[in-house]
Structure 1
């Protein structure tokens, strides 16, 4: 009988919190419950969250993903993604008498409300975020064209010329790098000290907590694996935070994307997942690592989360009926 080869020890530092946040969980539930209540198909404007596996699973249940409302028939329900939509979208859905369900994360809705409040007070609004991201498109679309100026970098902040330097307010995308955003805000504040800030930080608790956990993991790990899709802003930011902390980082969709060559000479690997990545993908990566290594798994906890968001009444009533 041949003895099994001795496997190399590998410590896995599991970042906590990781994976689904309350806004993502709510958005996915809205699609699932809508399919249960109204039957298939249910249309979803834009990917409900930025994760390929989540989208494929919902598609298998009867969701049809489209980019624009004009791709949806009038007589089927449509769900708006967690990233939020411009005001023109629900207005058009209402005009067409469509049944629509808004899965916008409540923390994104908070940014919308603040932007509207500043606009009504006559302030010029600066939005810190990434051009083309659906959340940025949705936030800028709450107000008339030209009311919001997008700032992406410190260089943008230094080049920005407002109409009235004493009458400014800023907001931010909820999934940005905390450190990068702080640098941009500092550059703006140095130039415009009277600029109004959000009542509470716009970068959401989940983004902040996951980045803090990655910073903690990265001080101990030789390599960081971030599970999430390449179009997920918060997942990309996690890989960037790890790399900035000096830990080589790879963003992977799932276990199949894991390249064992990355692990040559690695004794400790950090593992986390973006806010739109389900926990079964994390388990899949751990299982694949266990095929090659003798694993020791440790938890690296930066915060505990107990946030939940209510479902739209039309769905929660169905649940309690």
Structure 2
């Protein structure tokens, strides 16, 4: 049994990670400031003898005793991270500094939840970990993209300078239950609009692509990454290499929900990547044969069922 800290633990990914760590027999300390995370995501864990929740903002130092740290704290959808871009950058950078400092003091292993956004609007397809990316440093998405890139820099500098045990995963588009219905991400947008019978909004002509990984597959990769040998740091791409256009995704959602929603097209937002697909060769090799197992149709069906319940409760 280990004592494990999960920052951003009440968020979409964080709450699923807390579930998995408890299932594996660990003590879990969930830290969140509830900017995008919600108490509802962890309500089912209240009263669990090995679970503790703490309201805390990672831009301030944290003094606790743990064996491992998963650093997931940061708003991940454009709607949220552009709401307060300065705070978003501070969360990525100051949060990384504080968690790395804690890990160094404790001698703890620490995993950084980085992002495919470090690749920006890529010129290389699919993206490999050796690609340095093509990111606009002064655009509307830069608070998130550059914040995460700087966090990776800090992690590797702590590894080189202090020999800290670090693990870095670059997360590609992930979806599933507990996504926030108004977070602006494409899967939740399409599903909510379809279930409400509203027009489904596609930005651009719908030809831009993404690769969608179901949350359970993503969490499995993170847990395996934390368990790799001390000398392996990553970064490692984690995501589903199956690539779909936005138009294909919208059509799938309409078919699976039985919706009569119409597709409407609007201008592409600034700096929105045209292509996004992970090369997961390294993950397959380093994470004991890990690869996604849940097909998009199956994952979408589970996510649609979740949102049906959420929207019914909202009424």
The reply to whether TM is greater than 0.5 is no
> So what's the TM-score if we normalise by structure 1?
0.31
* Larger relative contact order (Cα-Cα within 8 Å, sequence gap ≥ 6): 1
> So what's the TM-score if we normalise by structure 2?
0.32
Q: Which has the larger radius of gyration?
A: 1
